[in-house]
Structure 1
Amino acid sequence: MADLSQKEWVEQLKADDNAFILDVRTPAEFQQGFIPEATNIDIYLGQKFVEEVEKLDKTKNYYVYCRSGARSGQACNIMNSLGIEKAYNLQGGIMAWQGEVVQ
């Protein structure tokens, strides 16, 4: 897992043609606004979160965020333990996000 600043996260994401954006907040939080093209898998689902992550393509590069960066950091660690090598945590989460948000 790598913690990236918003600037690093955005620059790396833009240059990455194998990127997958993952929002690990609750569905209610996701509905309040999300980064474009994000897929939502709630980390609070516990074992179901693990099962959903196991279905993901392990060859993709995952850009992971939550509200503040804490849950997404945990999610990246879980993803790494499940064989997903490239998981990038957005420091500060969506609260610090200054880019586009889909409402």
Structure 2
Amino acid sequence: MSNVNASRETGAAALSRREKIAPPKKYGVYLLNDDYTPMDFVVNVLTEIFVLPQARAMAVMLLVHHEGKGLCGVYTLDMAQTKQQQVMRRAKREGHPLQCTVEEV
């Protein structure tokens, strides 16, 4: 009988520990405006890397163009950094100075 009680206490203690774990922080991935990167390239990045629908990609591109910065998506830190690296590699490969940042939201 004592083994059954020990199992229940262990389960309750484990549940209590799980309740105390905070969810992972979220990070926004932003594109920054420049005077050289073509708008169609930005839309392609948004549709292919961030998997945004065409209409949403156009809206984000215009936000970047007019406001200087646009949110592409919100992810955990590792996913946000991966998206940032994908954008930066593609921009470099295509010869564009497009910049991408990751910020905690």
TM-score, normalised by the number of residues in structure 1: 0.32
